[in-house]
Amino acid sequence: MAYPLPQSTSMGLQVRRLAHGLGAEVRGVDLLRLDAAAWEAIHAAWMEHLVLVFPQQRLTGLEFAAFSARFGALEVLGSYQGLDEYTDPACKGLMTVTNRRIRDEPSRTRAVGRSWHADRSFVPQAPIGTFLYCRELPDVGGDTMFSNQYMAYDSLSDGLKRVLTGLWAVHDVLGRQDSLVKALTPQELARKRAMDPPTAQPVVRIHEVTGKPALYVSEAVTTRFVDMSAEESQPLLKYLFRHSVDPTFTYRHAWHVDDVVMWDNRCAMHLALADFDPVQFRTMLRTSVVGAVTGRVVPSMPAGPEGLSSPAAT
């Protein structure tokens, strides 16, 4: 479905870097009125800075979805994840992420993203970009951190780069420990396993627009290397997890209501910090844009000694 936006013939777009690692603030633009030149400038800034912040936007949910859809087809996740009550009936690609109670039950989205990750890297066709629109914040906190995975890769030694080139890693959604997984019943867990089997992704991902290599593993869902056991994989994975979020590569975003933030999942990871009073409310509207197929499904492996996965033949 297309979400047409009114067009503008003029703009005074200004881009200001926010951190050494990544991130830029974009001002002088109304996301409701983007002509072709404005969109091209925003896209170029996105490719350069990986994370863009648009402060003081005044959008409805559907207008926010319309802006997101300028970058590609929106993912539809509500029914797929059993989260219909979190989606907008008028736009299935628009979700609410909140710690407010939903239907008098704790929100299943109240604690998502508490580990470093690139969104949905555990599916072969992971999203290229994610968009959040801030609607509600606690008095303090509720920040999101981002990390530049171009820098993470570039700063590795030449020897380790050679080791990682051509290596694939297994990304498994059920390896993460967020509220979505913890809230699943055994029946829902089995259904999710059937829907989201482990997926192998290249450890070094080549960005299809910039052509640049980026490290593509995360502590949230990466469990092992293909053709290796979890036990064999852990020493190198632990190093990569730690290295990938070196403070030099990061930007911490302190939200304001009406901020729109977009980031590139192909070359940036993020982390939603639990740095606020959970009795206060934090609410975001969320969209994501479908990407190309980069991964492949691999067989689920039985647990080996001490609960580690056994080696796979893939």
The answer on pLDDT for 281 being more than 50 is yes
**Domain residue extents for the chain:** 14-294
Chain mean pLDDT for the chain: 89
pLDDT tens, 266-275? 999 999 999 9
Confidence at residue 80, expressed as pLDDT on a 0 to 100 scale:
57
Enzyme catalytic residues = 117, 119, 270, 286
Tokens 């993203």 belong to 113
pLDDT tens, 102-134? 888 898 889 889 999 999 999 999 999 999 999
Q: Which of 63, 104, 109, 113 is nearest to 86 (CA)?
A: 109
Three-state SS at 12: coil
Instruction: Please name every residue paired with 287 in a beta bridge, in sequence order, or none if there are none.
Output: 131
pLDDT band per the 50, 70, 90 thresholds, residue 174: confident
Measured in residues, the chain has a length of 314
Cβ contacts of 247 within 8 Å, gap of 6 or more? none
The answer on pLDDT for 225 being more than 80 is yes
Alpha-carbon distance of 200 to 121, in angstroms, equals 9
Could you tell me which residue, 203 or 6, shows the higher pLDDT? Answer: 203
- Return the percentage of the chain with pLDDT > 70, whole number: 88
pLDDT band per the 50, 70, 90 thresholds, residue 79: low
What is the fold, at CATH topology level, of the domain defined by 14-294? Double-stranded beta-helix (3.60.130)
Alpha-carbon distance of 267 to 273, in angstroms, equals 20
pTM for the whole thing?
Answer: 0.89
Residues 202, 293 contacting (CB under 8 angstroms):
no
Residues 124, 295 contacting (CB under 8 angstroms):
yes
pLDDT tens, 191-214? 878 888 999 999 999 999 999 999
Alpha-carbon distance of 156 to 30, in angstroms, equals 40
